[in-house]
Structure 1
Amino acid sequence: MERRKRRSFTPEFKAEAVRQVREGGKSMPQVAKELDLTESALRNWVSEADGNKGKDPAGTLTTSEREELVRLRKEVRHLEMERDFPKKSGGLLREGDLEVKFEFIEAEKAHFPVDFMCQQLGVSRSGYYAWKERPESERHKADRALAEVVTAVHQESRGRYGSPRVHAELRARGQRVSRKRVARLMRQHEMVARKRRRFVRTTDSRHNQPVAPNVLERNFSPGQPNSTWATDITYVATRQGWLYLAVVLDLFSRKVVGWSMSQNIDRHLVLNALDMALKGRQPPRGLLHHSDRGSQYASTDYQQALAARGIQCSMSRKGNCWDNAVVESFFSSLKLELVYTTDFATQEQARLALFEYIEVFYNRQRRHSSLGYVSPVDFELAALPQKLAS
């Protein structure tokens, strides 16, 4: 059995992992499992952060203050249920069909309390449970059971999956069902994927730094990992101002192998993302690195960092976003599935959410259409035995 390579993590990654434990509402074992870490390593990071109280005011909360925080979060959750429930059930309320309402309650009982739903829909609990005891057709039973699973999968994806990805997830779990049937049940239960917005170009290539030719030439499917990386920058709006995010993707698996967040859009932002990717992947010399012509990537410091590791530089043609389409697609999914649906009060709140999206959901859970509907991490794990055998 091949020995697992020792992994190296940047201070930014460690800080965001600690925030997942403290502010993300998750246990330490859960965070360690989601990020593929050992609990001891994560516990050490939390302990180190506890020793730096000047940088972590949240660590000084008393027991009563933490209990009050938990109580307030529960109140907020109840208010969110009251806010979100009518959006899901508005069509059912207008229709006024008891059968449909009971079916809705049955499908949503994993996500909303039955008492709460009965009150919202104007039906009695006794009526709902009496309906449950009535005999029903085998087909109706199967649809009802499948609708529960489809709803759970859609909810697990944070409402991001449409019928193709929900169908792929069901097949991966051993559920034999047609894509049309999944689409029908999702329509009946008002589950839809979010629509994409139009692409907006933000790169400013007006500088005097040298630029590299487009060596990549839109070859977005390399045959092995750590042979071709692509990188770019985007921005996220918060009430405290812009938060900039730089990412590095391995085009073999579309995995985000490096990222960095900052209030400033400068060369340090992209250098930190590159540093994370190099420490985590340790690529061989000859790696092809593709970016746009932005001043951050054309800077002397960045180019020297590439040259020191024997990395070949490639840049998109001027004003052509499609030359870096894979990273643009990642940003589109990120905005669609997280940013456009969240009002970030602070930059710290945005950092926490972006870290969870990238490291937990996108890299390890999200089913990627170009990878045969598996996650980037699972795609690499499946490809590893083949690479070792060749």
Structure 2
Amino acid sequence: MVSRDHPLSLRKQCELLQLSRSRLYYRPVGESAENLRFMEIIDKQFLETPWYGSRQMARFMKRNNHRCGRHRVRRLMRLMRLVPIYQEPNTSKKHPQHRIWPYLLRNMVIDRPNQVWCADITYIPMRRGFLYLVAIMDWYSRKVLSWRLSNSMDANFCVEALKEAITKYGTPEIFNSDQGSQFTSGAWIDVLTDAKIKISMDGKGAWRDNRMIERLWRSLKYECVYLNAFETGSEMRTGIGKWQTYYNSERPHSTHGILTPNEAYESKTEPMRMAA
């Protein structure tokens, strides 16, 4: 537990506990209780119908007697980063001054761990607020390599997760993401280029690839987040951590039959290490 009376500085205590100061001083995001309730309803419906834009979602809300018009629906969907799949290929907002990198995965067969990694960000509701979650995933095995929570959409928490994944698992040949500003930021790109990792970004005709990691979000929300209604950021961090351990080590992934993501990852990386 972090203490102001401890002889170590607050910053040092946070470093030892692997917490950022922004998480230590977390305050619920300033939306009304009504908006937070609407956001959870919209998020659950979007998991079922990811092609819903603000117009269709507003109709859904009206049919279910929720007083939430289209303008409010549109603002809340933007806040949650919910973009209907037919509208545009990217699931996050571009930065107009950031370079967009080409898509490298077209017609590529991905058949081994650490060939391609990917990342995405999602909105995670709390009882009185919400946080954002980023995950780094190995494309082949579907193993979650690292993740971070944040109360803001800056690039720092994404860069922290990326650095942790590289420290633990080495480097992939290619890293694929959408064109969101967090993934085109200088801090993110510098980590990839310094590690000599090829950069790939979803473009027109390739947006469906990112649906793979979005299936992770669906499972996480229905199996963990919505069942618990976490009160605080620390509770959420503990709960998501337990679920991610279960997902990686106990939950067989349909892509690999009866193998868990950990088993699928290790089944091919171990022979590769021995051959090296």
State the TM bucket, normalised to the shorter chain.
Answer: 0.5 to 0.7
Q: How does 1:160-309 map to 2 (within 5 A)?
A: 197-199=48-50, 200-201=82-83, 203-217=92-106, 219=108, 222-283=110-171, 287-309=173-195
CA distance in 2, matches of 1:218, 1:335: 31
2:48 alignment partner, SS class: coil
1:364 equivalent in structure 2:
249
Structure 2 residue ranges without an equivalent (≥5): 2-12, 18-22, 25-46, 51-81, 84-90
1:378 equivalent in structure 2:
263
Q: How does 1:3-42 map to 2 (within 5 A)?
A: none
1:384 Cα shift? 4.2
CA distance in 1, matches of 2:205, 2:180: 11
CA distance in 2, matches of 1:339, 1:198: 19
2:214 aligns with one of 328, 349, 353: 328
1:283 alignment partner, SS class: coil
2:196 equivalent in structure 1:
310
1:338 alignment partner, SS class: helix
Q: TM-score, normalised by structure 2?
A: 0.64
1:218 Cα shift? 6.8
Q: Aligned AA for 1:355?
A: G
Deviation string 1:28-65 (CA, Å, 9 cap, x unpaired) is xxxxxxxxxxxxxxxxx9xx66xxxxx99xxxxxxxxx
1:275 alignment partner, SS class: helix
Instruction: Report which of the two has the higher share of helix.
Output: 1
CA distance in 1, matches of 2:249, 2:265: 11
* Maintained 8 Å contact 1:217/1:323: no
1:206 Cα shift? 4.8
2:61 equivalent in structure 1:
none
Q: How does 1:134-173 map to 2 (within 5 A)?
A: none
Q: Provide closer, same or farther for how the CA distance between residues 282 and 217 of structure 1 changes in structure 2, counting only shifts above 3 A.
A: same
> Greater CA radius of gyration, 1 or 2?
1
Superposition RMSD in Å: 2.6
CA distance in 2, matches of 1:224, 1:269: 27
Q: TM-score, normalised by structure 1?
A: 0.46
1:320 Cα shift? 6.0
2:267 alignment partner, SS class: helix
1:225 alignment partner, SS class: coil
Q: Provide closer, same or farther for how the CA distance between residues 223 and 240 of structure 1 changes in structure 2, counting only shifts above 3 A.
A: same
CA distance in 2, matches of 1:225, 1:379: 8
Q: Provide closer, same or farther for how the CA distance between residues 346 and 300 of structure 1 changes in structure 2, counting only shifts above 3 A.
A: same
Name the % identity. Answer: 30
1:247 Cα shift? 0.7
Q: Aligned AA for 1:253?
A: S
Structure 1 residue ranges without an equivalent (≥5): 1-14, 16-44, 50-54, 57-195
1:281 Cα shift? 0.6
Count of aligned pairs between the two proteins: 197
Q: Aligned AA for 2:256?
A: L
Q: Provide closer, same or farther for how the CA distance between residues 204 and 320 of structure 1 changes in structure 2, counting only shifts above 3 A.
A: farther
1:277 alignment partner, SS class: helix
Deviation string 1:237-283 (CA, Å, 9 cap, x unpaired) is 11342211111111121101121111111110110110111110112
1:341 Cα shift? 2.6
1:361 alignment partner, SS class: helix
2:223 equivalent in structure 1:
337
4+ residue runs over 3 A deviation: 318-321, 384-390
- Say which structure, 1 or 2, has more relative contact order (CA 8 Å, 6+ apart): 2
* Maintained 8 Å contact 1:288/1:311: yes
* Maintained 8 Å contact 2:117/2:175: yes
* Maintained 8 Å contact 2:113/2:269: no
Q: Aligned AA for 1:299?
A: S
